Amino acid sequence: MDEMFKPSRRAFLRGSAAAAAGTVAGAASAAGPDPLITELQDWASGLGVGVDETPYGLPIEFESDVVRRNVEWLTASPISSINFTPIHALEGTITPQGCAFERHHSGAIELRKEDYRLMINGLVDTPLVFTYADLERFPRENHVYFCECAANTGMEWAGAQLNGVQFTHGMIHNMEYTGVPLRALLNEAGLNAAGDLKDKWVYVEGADASSNGRSIPMEKALDDVLVAFKANGEALRMEHGYPARLVVPGWEGNMWVKWIRRIEVTDAAVESREETSKYTDVYEDGTARKWTWVMDAKSVITSPSPQMPITHGQGPLVISGLAWSGHGQITRVDVSKDGGITWQTARLGKQGDTKALTRFYLDTVWDGAPMLLQARAMDETGYVQPTKEQLRAARGENSVYHNNCIQTWYVNAEGVAENVEVS
């Protein structure tokens, strides 16, 4: 808990709040009576919009800046590209589908449920084909999981690059998925033909032109992988793989194959383009790590941040952020206001979710002095999110993927925040 909010000092705070109130901007300090209160407003007199005006509701126009955005020059074509979730403006943990980041390798496709087929073949007893309707007949489960692109924060290997948490950390979303455990589908096809399952793999691919094939070790396939058809209660969006996608909890987003059409049991990894040319990590000496599937523990402050400056001046301030780990639960997040010299333990919004976003807060008081804001996550394995220095010492700067470094925002005396790197 923040020093300023320890109960013993609360009485003092309450007492001084009245004195401070005069300096706080906004309605409370209005010189005269507030016309929004004293004058009759249109919306309080006329009539609003009737039901069915928008059969499927969109956010109100005042929120129209809270959208996915891409940084055009990062890729050659928007068809094979990425955009970013506006995490700076979201709260809680669930990402609405409409603003959850997209990553396509050959564009998002329109695939009707009626045209959907899922094949299971390879080392199985009976190769099978399922329709979409078939999928809905298997016992299903609901789970909230984060999906993070392995390249999230990738630009920042080269130093502070993009000014905005949407762009440094926005290749992530967190949804409640409804789906069939992959193990149920494999069980249906039968795994006796595969013999010893220890060294077996499943190779998964999508129905789009890129096909985005990935190899997943059998142990994970039988553990918590889902073939999902709903997210946050409704059908998946086209851009997230309608009508069905793979959910690979805690593992890099590229493996969450969209429009999944085929699952093959094999005795070796295919070593497809997406697991050799891409999604491998080159180290300082030129050797590369492959099969780096798990997303390590990471956290970031979403507000204040470059897109969310402090606009209310000195006084009570909510520092809000997100933490997650591909290894399980987040157990603790610490926040520093001085670039990592002093840390305070933040309050976790809700504990216990595994491989899902956890919201954290530091309820504090801003004295108007500049800050170097950082957050540091710990997960249930005891792993502590590393600094940029630690990561670079371990891996060099040539990697693209798996940058889970501690992020720093410099907040100046006006409350404006900027992406920086510190010593």
Cβ pair 203, 215 in contact under 8 A: yes
Q: Which of 98, 138, 141, 99 is nearest to 120 (CA)?
A: 138
Residues in 107-146 that interact with another protein by CB under 8 A: 107, 119-122, 126-131, 134, 137-144
Q: Quick one: 36 or 133, whose CB is closer to another protein?
A: 133
114 is in the binding site of which of ligand HEC, another protein, none (Cβ under 5 to 8 A by kind)?
none
Q: Quick one: 29 or 276, whose CB is closer to another protein?
A: 276
* Shortest CB 203 distance to ligand HEC, Å: 18
Q: Which of 386, 362, 363, 370 is nearest to 418 (CA)?
A: 370
Q: Quick one: 210 or 358, whose CB is closer to ligand HEC?
A: 210
Report the SS3 class of residue 376.
Answer: strand
Residues in 347-406 that interact with another protein by CB under 8 A: 351-353, 368-372, 376, 378, 381-384, 386, 390, 394, 397-398
**Residue that the structure tokens 């000496």 belong to:** 285
* C-alpha dist (Å) from residue 159 to 70, 162, 335, 388, 417: 20, 9, 21, 9, 17
Cβ pair 373, 336 in contact under 8 A: yes
Q: Quick one: 104 or 173, whose CB is closer to another protein?
A: 104
Two tokens at 193? 């033909």
Q: What is the distance between the alpha carbons of residues 255 and 293, in angstroms, rounded to a whole number?
A: 8
Q: What is the CA radius of gyration of the chain?
A: 24
- Judged by CB under 8 A, the stretch of 28-36, 96-104, 233-241, 412-420 that binds another protein is 412-420
Q: List the x/- string, 292-331, binding to another protein by CB under 8 A.
A: xxx-x---------xx------------------------
* Shortest CB 73 distance to another protein, Å: 7
164 is in the binding site of which of ligand HEC, another protein, none (Cβ under 5 to 8 A by kind)?
another protein
* C-alpha dist (Å) from residue 164 to 79, 157, 215: 23, 15, 34
389 is in the binding site of which of another protein, ligand HEC, none (Cβ under 5 to 8 A by kind)?
none
Q: Quick one: 148 or 296, whose CB is closer to another protein?
A: 296
Residues in 247-276 that interact with another protein by CB under 8 A: 261-262, 264, 266, 268, 270-273, 276
Two tokens at 2? 């923040």
Q: What is the distance between the alpha carbons of residues 352 and 374, in angstroms, rounded to a whole number?
A: 23
Q: Quick one: 78 or 368, whose CB is closer to ligand HEC?
A: 78
Q: What is the distance between the alpha carbons of residues 287 and 395, in angstroms, rounded to a whole number?
A: 10
* Shortest CB 52 distance to another protein, Å: 25
DSSP states of 192-217: GGG-S-TT-EEEEEESSTT---EEEE
Binding flag, residue 31, another protein (CB under 8 A): no
User: Which residues here bind ligand HEC, judged by CB under 6 A?
Assistant: 76-77, 80, 105, 210, 273, 277-278
6 is in the binding site of which of ligand HEC, another protein, none (Cβ under 5 to 8 A by kind)?
none
Q: Quick one: 273 or 395, whose CB is closer to ligand HEC?
A: 273
Binding flag, residue 164, another protein (CB under 8 A): yes
Q: What is the distance between the alpha carbons of residues 335 and 318, in angstroms, rounded to a whole number?
A: 12
* Shortest CB 4 distance to another protein, Å: 14
* Shortest CB 278 distance to ligand HEC, Å: 6
Q: Quick one: 93 or 215, whose CB is closer to ligand HEC?
A: 215
Angle at the Cα of 69 from the Cα atoms of 63 and 75, rounded to 5 degrees? 175
Cβ pair 265, 182 in contact under 8 A: no
